[in-house]
Amino acid sequence: MTHQRLLSFTVCDPKLVSFPMHLLLQNPPTPAKPLCSSSLNDSYLILGSCNGLLCLYHIPRCYVALWNPSIRFTSKRLPTGLSPGEGFSTFHGFGYDAVNDKYKLLLAMRVLGETVTKIYTFGADSSCKVIQNLPLDPHPTERLGKFVSGTLNWIAPKMGVSDEKWVICSFDFATETSGQVVLPYGDRDNVCKPVINAVRNCLCVCFFDSRKAHWAVWLMKEYGVQDSWTKLMVIPRFVQEDSWPWKLIPHD
pLDDT for 21-45, tens place per residue?
677 667 776 665 655 555 566 678 8
Q: Residue range 212-231: average pLDDT?
A: 90
User: What pLDDT was estimated at residue 70?
Assistant: 75
Query: Residue 144: beta bridge partners?
Result: 92
User: What pLDDT was estimated at residue 244?
Assistant: 39
Is the pTM higher than 0.85? no
Query: How far, in Å, CA of 95 to CA of 76, rounded?
Result: 17
More confident residue, 244 or 79: 79
Residue 151 phi/psi, 5° resolution? -130, 155
pLDDT for 197-206, tens place per residue?
998 889 999 8
Q: How many CB atoms lie within 10 A of CB 172?
A: 16
User: What pLDDT was estimated at residue 1?
Assistant: 42
pLDDT tier at 18, thresholds 50, 70, 90: low
Q: Residue range 166-184: average pLDDT?
A: 90
Q: Does residue 164 surpass a pLDDT of 60?
A: no
Q: Does residue 105 surpass a pLDDT of 90?
A: yes
Q: How far is CA 35 from CA 10, 38, 135, in A?
A: 15, 10, 42
pLDDT tier at 194, thresholds 50, 70, 90: confident
Q: What is the dihedral of CA 85, 91, 97, 103, to 10 degrees?
A: 30
Query: How far, in Å, CA of 59 to CA of 85, rounded?
Result: 8
More confident residue, 104 or 182: 104
8-state DSSP, 237: -
User: What pLDDT was estimated at residue 165?
Assistant: 78
Burial state string for 64-99 with b = 16 or more CB within 10 A and e = fewer than 16: bbbbebeeeeebeebebeeeeeebeebbbbbbbbee
User: What pLDDT was estimated at residue 17?
Assistant: 65
Query: How far, in Å, CA of 67 to CA of 7, rounded?
Result: 13
Average pLDDT in the chain: 78
